[in-house]
A and B are shown apart, each in its own frame.
Chain A
Amino acid sequence: MRLVTAVIKPFRLQEVQEALRSAGVVGMTVSEVHGYGRQRGHTEVYRGAEYRVDFVPKVRIEVVCEDEEAERVVETIESTARTGKIGDGKIWVVAVEELVRVRTGERGAAAV
């Protein structure tokens, strides 16, 4: 099993969610996060004074899937989250050692 984690622009979340659902992904976890990459932060001006805001709001999506599905999940997120502008985010994939469905106690791929 793989854990696909994506950090994307918040306003792309709905499209990504729809696309993943169409691609057969049945569950995900999202969280609101703050951070920066090459985009760096942005500036805001209040009463003429300029403030640098380093951490910009992002959405983190986490999806656990079977090994062979991971590439499709990544591609789906990649193509729907992309705007082509700086700050589109990152996606990374790590191996998952164990997975448990809490309700039934199912283990491994059956718990996906």
Chain B
Amino acid sequence: MPHYNSGDTAWVLASAALVLFMTPGLAIFYGGMVRRKNVLAMLMQNFVTMAIVCLAWVWFSYSLAFGPDWGGLGLLGDLRFAALSHISSAVPGMAHQSIPQLAFVAFQMMFAVITAALLTGSSADRLGFAAFCIFVLVWSVVVYDPIAHWVFSPEGWLAKRGTEDFAGGTVVEITSGVSGATLALVVGPRRGWPHELMRPHNVPLSVLGAGILWFGWLGFNAGSALSAGRAVDAFINTNTATAAALLSWLLVEKLRDGRPTTLGAASGAVAGAVGITPACGFVNTVGATVIGLVAGAACALAVSLKFKLEVDDSLDVLAVHGVGGFIGTLMVGFFGVSAVNGANGLFYGGGFALLGRQALAVVVAVGWAFCATAAVAWAVHKVVGMRVGPEEELAGLDVSLHEESAYDFESLTNSGLSARAFMPSPPSRAPAEKD
């Protein structure tokens, strides 16, 4: 029995729980930004993603991503750990880890969940429910598991080339951003976009969601240290960059639109956390602050990109996660400092070597996410048809897919009393007849 460190194990398990909580946070963040008639469908997509990806993870996805490398090519794990068998050994390539492999399984499971969940923002308000479930399962296995192996598993080919991605700037952020926009491209825009008004229906929800994401991100990034002792750099850097990006997003809004907005503050915080994700364990306070400032400003400017590209990436997953992940991953090549972890970047005398490795990882992640997602989305769209019909889209997904409505504000049509009065056929067992 190897000697596990109880502090490290406790921190990674706590972090896994923090990262799990990010997905409902994301659901709330996105739910506030969609129209009122689609908020439940958004929450539902995120919630069901938690179930689907978690089950797939323990049955086979974990093994594909982190199992012993298949043929030594660094492309995919084999199925040795399917259904979490043979799991008492160390994670392949991580013999030195002080935590049990199952703790790592749990922690990485939540990464797989939130990466897939991020795609809901790009394709909001128009996908059928069953089609979404099929897509998210196939996407997670075909697109996410391989790139997680390449970068996160020490036996993956990018990891072997020295790519530095502390918590998933490529695997999670670039992959979700580019994949999301690709999915939106394949399924087409929301009906009426971009001419019709599609205002966020509940900005307070989005702000709360961003707050939950900020909170959970501390586990996402600092948990990636896989040790309590080494987590502190990532923890403080994540918080610093998030704060810096919130302010720089607001500054861009003030200069461009005349007013800082609440949704901008929420979005800026997320952009900063995204930007620092690949870098959080490799940079110092200077690096974290600059990465945050640049990520916040760049993402704030990138949100108009979708109108130029004419791709209805509805809630700007590409602009926030794609662009933020791109910036963060490259910036490791400038601000990486060996005094913290890893290698020195350009600004700390490391030359261009690290920057080159980071650039390669960015190109691979963008290319892979685009090509593989296009193939998966196109195939699922061809076979099952991912979009709901025009009437359903117009009526809203909450009613047409789930026969529910999020809010009981219309006193005449939705209050408990009159809902009973309008019920077409009375319940077969009225309370009085119970006995």
Contact = CB atoms under 8 A, between A and B. Distances in A.
Interface in B257-297: 257, 259, 261, 263-264, 267
A51 B192 CA distance: 14
B374 to A, nearest CB: 25
Interface in B197-222: 197, 199-200
Interface in B284-343: 300, 303-304, 307, 316
Nearest to B320: A47
Contact of A48 (B197, B199, B257): B257
Interface string A49-72: 111110000000000000000000
Nearest to B300: A48
A46 interface: yes
B199 A51 contact: yes
B253 interface: yes
B46 to A, nearest CB: 20
A44 B258 CA distance: 11
Contacts of B261: 45-46
A52 B200 contact: no
Contacts of B303: 47-49
Interface string A5-22: 000000000000000000
Nearest to B203: A46
B402 interface: no
Interface residues of A, number: 10
A49 to B, nearest CB: 7
Interface residues of B, number: 17
A46 B263 CA distance: 7
B253 A48 contact: yes
B199 A47 contact: no
Contacts of A45: 253, 257, 259, 261
Interface string A25-55: 0000000000000000000111111111100
Contacts of A53: 197, 199
Contact of B316 (A44, A47, A50, A52): A47
Nearest to B299: A47
B264 A44 contact: no
Contact of A44 (B33, B199, B300, B307): B199
B160 interface: no
B210 to A, nearest CB: 13
A46 to B, nearest CB: 6
Interface string B394-423: 000000000000000000000000000000
Nearest to A54: B197
B200 A49 contact: no
Contacts of A46: 33, 199-200, 261, 263
B307 A49 contact: yes
Contacts of A47: 263-264, 267, 300, 303, 316
B161 interface: no
B191 interface: no
A52 B198 CA distance: 10
A44 B197 CA distance: 11
A50 B256 CA distance: 12
Interface in B324-370: none
A44 B307 CA distance: 17
A48 B256 contact: yes
Contacts of A44: 199
Interface of A: 44-53
Given A46-B33, A48-B256, 16 more contacts: A44-B199, A45-B257, A45-B259, A46-B199, A46-B261, A46-B263, A47-B264, A47-B267, A47-B300, A48-B303, A48-B304, A49-B303, A49-B304, A49-B307, A52-B197, A53-B197
